[in-house]
Amino acid sequence: MADSTTDNTFDIVILGAGSGGYAAALRAAELGMTVALVEKGKLGGTCLHRGCVPTKTMLHVGEVADTAHEGAAVGITMSVEKIDMEGVLSFKDKIVGRLYKGLQGLVKAAKGVELIQGHGRLTGKDTVTVETESGTRELVGKNVILASGSFSKTLPGLELGGRILDSEAALQLAEVPKNPIILGGGVIGVEFASVWKSLGAESVTIVEGLPHLAANEDESLSKALERAFKKRGITFSLGTFFEKAEQTDSGVTVTLVDGTTFEGDYLLVAVGRGPNTKDLGYEEQGIPMDRGFVLADKETLHTGVGNVYAVGDIVPGLQLAHRGFQQGIFVAESIAGLKPAPIVESGIPRVTYCEPELASVGLTEKQAKEKLGEDKVETYEYNLGGNGKSQILNTTGFVKLVREKDGPVVGIHMIGARVSEQVGEAQLIVNWEAYPEDVAALVHAHPTQNEALGEAHLALAGKPLHAHS
């Protein structure tokens, strides 16, 4: 298929080299296509440099601190003498740097992929014009993939800067805030709340306008997280919207619409991520858009314009790196004529890496009831109190299964330390439409947290072992 006729003609031109863009490039190369991968910043995008990897590194540091604080409970007397933020940041940068190097190596080795450093714009249905250090290049693609990603949003009148941080700035902070306020109780908000509390913040306050933290999750997980955060001393205000924030040299005052105020040394704005599509020529080329998002076809990810596709955070839906990877692979395979199976959005695993972690896949109980009917849904909650490994790890939580009555499991929702590691099996169960009886027949190793998944399915299949039916 590779038939680049000039240096500027490619099988695929990809605008943006984040999770979605580079995954598409690597898969396309495996399939023998030529690719121009355009990136104005760093290969790897948000996830590697400002998102998943640095935040999860910080959360691990938090876990180490928590372990030290809890030492006495297991018979080891120890204390945390100092959180050396310089050391923490350099650990984080080392992990990011190592992965960045690996990714650079992969892209370099991918035959047919040219990484072009510069700011790109869609200037024709098959053309991306890039301003590089050495001049302008017009790249023509038989196919174009838009993968320009997202940015941290703020609210009208709430200007970022100084003590008002977005997640990028929060990841560079050279100190642990003493009493931060976090605007937004979604994934990014609760993860930072967790890290800062673990690293010694005296108080952490989350302000969320919706009725729950992690409001997109099954309500049982949100409520359990709220209980766990309360126990950890993380406070939150739910159900009242933000009105304004004012900062001085030493702190920030946040006022809600009902007049309640909160004082903190920093305010983290974690109100979601907007699509990075402004002034990139998308509208001019007739790409269908809604509030900045690219309305690609849900199944094919084709924009309906020429051979232009879109992947990742600019496409409405879950803004997750692994969704971007899969969409990138899907589009590369579609272009190569392989007819890959469409990606089912509800089958994408979701993890929130705070302490305790939340991990889920498939439908919430509410969604299942809306889809299948109130009386067609059965649920079961297996408490981690019955799981040996969770007891050893001193964590509480549960695994909740949602099944279609007499049918397959359609949703799995988990809370507890390290439950993210269980989402792999959970997503196989939901995406392969397994029945509880199928899973109950499979052996889960003892003692593992994974066993909790097996036990939950045993119970839902009517044969509980370490549980009540």
Report cis status (omega within 30 of 0) of the bond before 356: yes
Handedness of CA 288, 293, 298, 301 (dihedral sign): positive
Instruction: Please report how close the Cβ of residue 234 comes to ligand FAD at its closest, in angstroms.
Output: 18
For ligand FAD, the closer CB: 39 or 404: 39
For ligand FAD, the closer CB: 243 or 283: 283
Please give the torsion angle defined by the CA atoms of residues 301, 302, 307 and 313, in that order, rounded to the nearest 10 degrees.
-50
For ligand FAD, the closer CB: 312 or 416: 312
Instruction: Please report how close the Cβ of residue 282 comes to ligand FAD at its closest, in angstroms.
Output: 10
Nearest to 330 by CA among 342, 321, 348, 318: 342
**Amino acid identity, residue 111?**
K
Residue tagged 């999770």 (tokens)? 19
Residue tagged 């998002």 (tokens)? 293
Instruction: Please report how close the Cβ of residue 50 comes to ligand FAD at its closest, in angstroms.
Output: 6
Q: How far apart are CA 188 and CA 425, in angstroms?
A: 24
Instruction: Please report how close the Cβ of residue 350 comes to ligand FAD at its closest, in angstroms.
Output: 8
- Decide if 468 is catalytic: no
Q: How far is CA 270 from CA 190, 206, 354, in A?
A: 9, 10, 15
Site for ligand FAD, rule CB under 6 A: 15-21, 38-41, 45-47, 50-52, 55-56, 119-120, 147-150, 167, 188, 276, 280, 312-313, 319-322, 324, 353
For ligand FAD, the closer CB: 34 or 46: 46
Instruction: Please report how close the Cβ of residue 278 comes to ligand FAD at its closest, in angstroms.
Output: 10
Residue tagged 């993380």 (tokens)? 234
- For residues 116 and 138, the answer to whether their CB atoms sit within 8 Å is no
Q: How far apart are CA 333 and CA 309, in angstroms?
A: 12
Give, to the nearest 10 degrees, the angle between helix 187-198 and helix 219-232: 20
Q: Is 388 left (phi over 0), alpha (psi -120 to 50) or beta?
A: alpha
Handedness of CA 173, 179, 184, 187 (dihedral sign): positive
Residue 196 burial (CB < 10 Å; 0-12/13-18/19+)?
buried
Provide the terminal-to-terminal Cα distance of the chain, rounded to the nearest Å.
Answer: 57
- Bridge partners of 261, per DSSP, are 255
For ligand FAD, the closer CB: 40 or 444: 40
Instruction: Please report how close the Cβ of residue 447 comes to ligand FAD at its closest, in angstroms.
Output: 27
Task: Report how far Cα 250 is from the mean position of its chain's Cα atoms.
Answer: 32
For ligand FAD, the closer CB: 40 or 69: 40
- Find the catalytic residue in 49, 69, 119, 446: 446
For ligand FAD, the closer CB: 276 or 334: 276
Residues acting as catalytic residues: 446
